[in-house]
Amino acid sequence: MAIGDDTWADTILYVLKKKVVFDHPHTGAREEVVGGQRVLGIPLEVVRANMRRKIDDDLSRDADDFGQIEKKRRILHNRPVFSGTRIPVDAVRAYIDHGASNEEIIREYPRLTDQDIDAVRKGSVEVA
């Protein structure tokens, strides 16, 4: 099916790897001009939303993890970290030793809770 001059005048052309691509007016599919090969369009907003959701999932912690310390192989060379994070306990201990408040520490490490920091302050952290 031929595409007339009027249709071409309203068509937006794209370049993909030195090939011209357009939205076919009859099918709505994005196609490469010469070969007619279809081109997949992925809206970046969808990619961004999926990445944001995955990051949020990865950063979420179970309430059971609050105030808990763990050591795991291959995480910070087996140094104690807050459960569900990669935040080293000794980093928070250094902040506490320099007089930082819970709010100041949480500003630096937003994934931590008062329970986490209070456990370090009380010295009641046990490594699971």
18-51 pLDDT per residue, tens: 777 777 777 777 777 676 666 556 667 877 888 8
Alpha-helix runs per DSSP H in the chain: 5-9, 44-59, 89-97, 102-108, 114-122
Number of domains in the chain: 2
Position 91 in a domain: yes
Position 33 in a domain: yes
Range of the domain at 28: 5-41
Contact of 1 with 13, CB cutoff 8 Å: no
* CA–CA separation, 76 and 69 (whole Å): 13
Instruction: Verify that 27 and 73 share a domain, yes or no.
Output: no
Report percent pLDDT > 90 for the chain: 27
Instruction: Verify that 72 and 35 share a domain, yes or no.
Output: no
Rounded to two decimals, what is the model's pTM? 0.55
Position 127 in a domain: no
Instruction: Verify that 71 and 114 share a domain, yes or no.
Output: yes
Position 50 in a domain: no
pLDDT in tens, 101-111: 999 999 999 99
Residue of higher predicted confidence among 114 and 54: 114
Instruction: Verify that 37 and 67 share a domain, yes or no.
Output: no
